[in-house]
Structure 1
Amino acid sequence: MKSIKFISFLYTFINIFFVLSINALPNLVKKVDTITPYYYDQYIDHFNKNSGTFKQKYYVNSTFYKPGAPIFITTAGESHITKNQVTLSGLSEIAASFNGLMITIEHRFYGESYPPVSKLTTKNLKKIHTVEQALADFANFIANPPNIPKKSKWIFVGGSYAGNIATWMRKKYPSLVFAAWASSAPLLAKLDFFEYDLAVGQALPCRNDIISSVENFIDPILHSGDRIKIASLKSLFGLLVLEDDQDFASALVSPIAAMVQTYFPPTSPQEIDSIPFFCKAFDDAPSKDPAVLTAIYAQIYKYFLQAKGLTTNEAILEAYATTYITLNNDVTSYYFQFCSEFGFYQTAPQPPLKRLRSSIVNIAYFNKQCKYLFPGILSPQVEKFNKVYGGNIGIFSRTIFTIGENDPWTPLTIAGRAGGESSDIIAKNIKNNYAYIIANGSHANDLRFPTPQDSESLLKARIFVKETLAKFIKSYDATSSVI
């Protein structure tokens, strides 16, 4: 069930922030063992206070806090939270430099923070699992904090969807949120997100070989209707167990997308540099015949399956099959957000554009998934959503954006053109905001804890964030009614 399920896996991977060893960082994480979870009594429905409350999980790190310093609050977005987010992340390093208090709070319907519903169905979720309710959760926490100074400057930080939340919190609740830092934030909701595929291709030196395999070998077989040939193709990739052809086609691109979206240079000589390793196999191909390229693609793909632990039919079905979805977990919860509000359907680009994925990975496929999980759900009204939350164009007050140049989600950020904007409009959009483009950067990689392998551009991005926050704080007028 690649597609949306795989997207959720990627976000989970990123929003836990790629932590390092505690023993290697004694100065920053002293007292980390004393950090324990807390639970906040949050409204189930902010627009019906009689609906009751649920327990919303959060962590606090006050190791470096000094009275009067800012409070840095973050969320893992569509994932469970861990104390690593306030101890071993890019945020914790920057917050410590300001002597700030650090808080990570769980998004409703993720981790342990589930309002009491029997099943994650359309009927149960349509009113209480929305961006509007989630923002109201965080606003209520900031306005009524438990044993935390109310008069502090709150700075909301997030990566990916959580970066959207940070941006929207500053925009919707400026009296509560002093500033925001949004890393790799895909602010533009979009149904047909074919630009993701194009961006993945741009980061791969061997993209033409994959395109040739897909367009000249894989797709002709999938469109042929010849079940024997289709079964043989699935078997070649180790995916014979996937009966649905669209599930199979969608699964094929998952390791490539993961490789590009989460790319980070090796931190030791023992680690594989994934993109050069992947493309070298195509460089060494005895010929550029599409059948030969597909055979190489299949061999590498099976290597990725092993690396991800997908070595049994059951594991493959759970990862990629539409019909293998449990109805009460974080993946399903994120499905609902895609299906009801965001879209973000990673489709195949249409001709004359070249594509890394099969043409049968289309909007109809994603609609089928959504309707299977949530009968009766309507297609996400992305135009209406963008009108409410503003999309990716505009001037965002006291909001810092960091954006990875090679991040496949960049087309939906303030530096992207997925909304059809001209290059001039995007250039002006970047100039009008506090934005930094990380050269060769991937998805939210500035939220990792700093390492010796960080690029010069990544180091400069973190300096940009620190200096800009310092500028915001220095220019703040303590007598202002707007925090």
Structure 2
Amino acid sequence: MLKMFLSVCHLLLLICCISSGFAEEQWFEQTLDHFDHENHRTWSQRYFVSDKYYTPGGPAFLQIGGEGPAGPVWLDQGHWIEIAKEVGAKCFILEHRFYGESHPTNDTSVENLQFLSSEQALADIARFITNKTVTSGLKTWITFGGSYPGSLSLWMKLKYPHLIKGAMSASAPLLAKMDFYEYNEVVNRSLTKFGSPKCVENIAIATKAVDTMLQSDTGRQQLMKLFNLCSPLSADDYEYFQNAIADSIADTVQYNRDNRAFEGATDGNVTISVLCDHMTDQSLGSEIERYATIPSLFGNAVDRKRVFSRRYRTYGNEMDKCFDASYANFIQSMKTPTFDAGRTWTFQTCTEFGWFQSTDSSKQPFRGFPVGLFTDICIKVFGSSFNPTNIQNSIMETNANYGARDVASQITNAVLFNGGVDPWHAMSYTTPTDSSPYRKIVARFDKANYTDQSPTFHTLFVPSSAHCAIMYPDKPEDPPELRYARAQASKYVKSWLK
């Protein structure tokens, strides 16, 4: 699936919030429209709760759900749980409306999607906290989130400061922007720094070859064979196809060494190093042949589906599959008004955020998917009113509403982590010294004039870390600066509770 649309595999995220079974699901009666007081409709919102580490009088920790299903594995593991053990916190996970099993309406028609927005989600959280404060006697709340939920965590502190004591956030995009060409610029820099310049050069050679081959019948036939396509490419498919084959590289960079293995992922060995070894191995053929065989790096069907969601078709058995590069098929599947996270997250990007990860920059190795591809998807899936002019107006409203990066100067008791490998840090907030080497980062932390009562906005930046990396449990092979950042975050959170 196109990378702008679904954090489950690619963006914001759910990669930071999923799966498995450690607690039974529970349901909360939620308001459908918090901003229309004549609308009294309600719906059932799913959440999970654990008092495993709770001690009477302890705080409440709320992990905010994002653009995918919530799940209880995060009630048992993760950095926030390590803090919960120390402070005796009761832990909640609240699923975001229109994702997972939290269905406010009977389908996701455009008419019903009017109730899907970050503002409605924040009001959901506020109502949930208010209710649990009364019914459970929990007085002190701290929110947690990574990626888009990380944005929501900070925005809760901005919009509802009376309800939460502090906000922990990881890899949160704060600046809404239509043409997010910087995404692939960071991919370029990360591949160069943690892979090799030759790796980036070979990717650029391969993508140029693809672009050239698309211009002739013979070339398109060769591409069909190289990439095992399900059907011949038409002119309407070119941009979608070029974006699709770039996704696996961008995905690998975004989640490089991020500790997802505890969630059940088995592709944790597909790092930038592995990818670049593949792209620089001359024994694997030409640059485009290496590019075409990148999917073989992902060990099993589950992992390939995660990276190439919506694009692989299976015939008969698992080994008999092809790559569906049909733009028409993609649009048709996205238009179906089911509770599919790709469709609902696409709606949010088309109505609030943009973040369309284009090739509209010369400082990156890919070709062929300008911002127009993404705005065209908005129109084709949701209708003519979802056009570039209206999208841009909505993006301006989002930045005016939340303050974009200026939110950092407006809230207190907040921590924001970013990883330098992660392309999303380009839309987040980082301090001027956040590109400094580790030794300077440590020095800055140590000289931060820290006190237990300091009501500040803290930034943690680890140049060698990826998307939401701070949220995962410590591993021995983690960079020391990442473990240090986790310790600092714990210190800040505990200071708010004193």
TM category (shorter chain) comes to 0.7 to 0.9
Q: Which residue of 2 aligns with 1:300?
A: 294
Which residue, out of 156, 160, 167, partners 1:169? 156
Computed over aligned residues only, the root mean square deviation of the Cα atoms, in angstroms, reads 3.1
Whether 1:341 and 2:328 are equivalent positions in the alignment is no
DSSP-derived class of the 2:24 partner: coil
Whether 1:159 and 2:146 are equivalent positions in the alignment is yes
Paired AA for residue 382 in structure 2: F
Paired AA for residue 365 in structure 2: L
Paired AA for residue 175 in structure 2: L
Q: Could you state the TM-score of these two structures normalised by the residue count of structure 1?
A: 0.83
Q: Which residue of 2 aligns with 1:111?
A: 100
CA distance in 2, matches of 1:294, 1:318: 17
Structure 2: unaligned runs, 5 residues or longer = 306-311, 316-320, 449-455
Q: Which residue of 2 aligns with 1:67?
A: 56
Which residue, out of 218, 225, 239, partners 2:210? 218
CA distance in 2, matches of 1:416, 1:227: 51
Which residue, out of 254, 265, 272, partners 1:261? 254
Paired AA for residue 423 in structure 2: P
Contact 2:19–2:70 (CA under 8 A) maintained in structure 1: no
Paired AA for residue 217 in structure 2: R
Whether 1:85 and 2:74 are equivalent positions in the alignment is yes
CA distance in 1, matches of 2:369, 2:51: 47
CA distance in 2, matches of 1:122, 1:99: 43
Paired AA for residue 105 in structure 1: L
CA distance in 2, matches of 1:165, 1:213: 38
DSSP-derived class of the 2:105 partner: coil
Contact 1:247–1:322 (CA under 8 A) maintained in structure 2: no
What is the aligned length?
A: 442
Summarize the Cα distance change of 1:86–1:311 in structure 2 as closer, same or farther, 3 Å threshold: same
Whether 1:43 and 2:39 are equivalent positions in the alignment is no
CA distance in 2, matches of 1:270, 1:53: 40
* Pairwise CA distance, 1:183: 0.4
Q: Which residue of 1 aligns with 2:17?
A: 16
Summarize the Cα distance change of 1:365–1:318 in structure 2 as closer, same or farther, 3 Å threshold: closer
Paired AA for residue 9 in structure 2: F
Contact 1:144–1:150 (CA under 8 A) maintained in structure 2: no
Paired AA for residue 109 in structure 2: T
DSSP-derived class of the 2:9 partner: helix
Which residue, out of 221, 226, 230, partners 1:231? 221
* Pairwise CA distance, 1:270: 11
Structure 1: unaligned runs, 5 residues or longer = 20-31, 475-483
* Pairwise CA distance, 1:398: 1.0
Summarize the Cα distance change of 1:397–1:464 in structure 2 as closer, same or farther, 3 Å threshold: same
Q: Which residue of 2 aligns with 1:252?
A: 245
CA distance in 1, matches of 2:121, 2:57: 27
Paired AA for residue 419 in structure 2: G
Q: Which residue of 2 aligns with 1:388?
A: 401
Which residue, out of 413, 417, 435, partners 1:398? 413
Which residue, out of 462, 465, 470, partners 1:446? 470
CA distance in 1, matches of 2:223, 2:324: 17
Paired AA for residue 55 in structure 1: S
CA distance in 1, matches of 2:272, 2:295: 13
* Pairwise CA distance, 1:195: 0.7
* Pairwise CA distance, 1:457: 1.3
* Pairwise CA distance, 1:180: 0.1
Contact 1:404–1:443 (CA under 8 A) maintained in structure 2: yes
* Pairwise CA distance, 1:257: 1.2
* Pairwise CA distance, 1:191: 0.5
Contact 2:14–2:66 (CA under 8 A) maintained in structure 1: no
Q: Which residue of 1 aligns with 2:309?
A: none
Contact 1:404–1:440 (CA under 8 A) maintained in structure 2: yes
Q: Which residue of 2 aligns with 1:462?
A: 486
DSSP-derived class of the 1:51 partner: coil
Q: Which residue of 2 aligns with 1:363?
A: 371
Identical residues among aligned pairs (%):
27
Whether 1:354 and 2:346 are equivalent positions in the alignment is no
Paired AA for residue 314 in structure 2: T
Summarize the Cα distance change of 1:140–1:319 in structure 2 as closer, same or farther, 3 Å threshold: farther
Q: Which residue of 1 aligns with 2:170?
A: 183
Summarize the Cα distance change of 1:228–1:322 in structure 2 as closer, same or farther, 3 Å threshold: farther
CA distance in 2, matches of 1:43, 1:245: 43
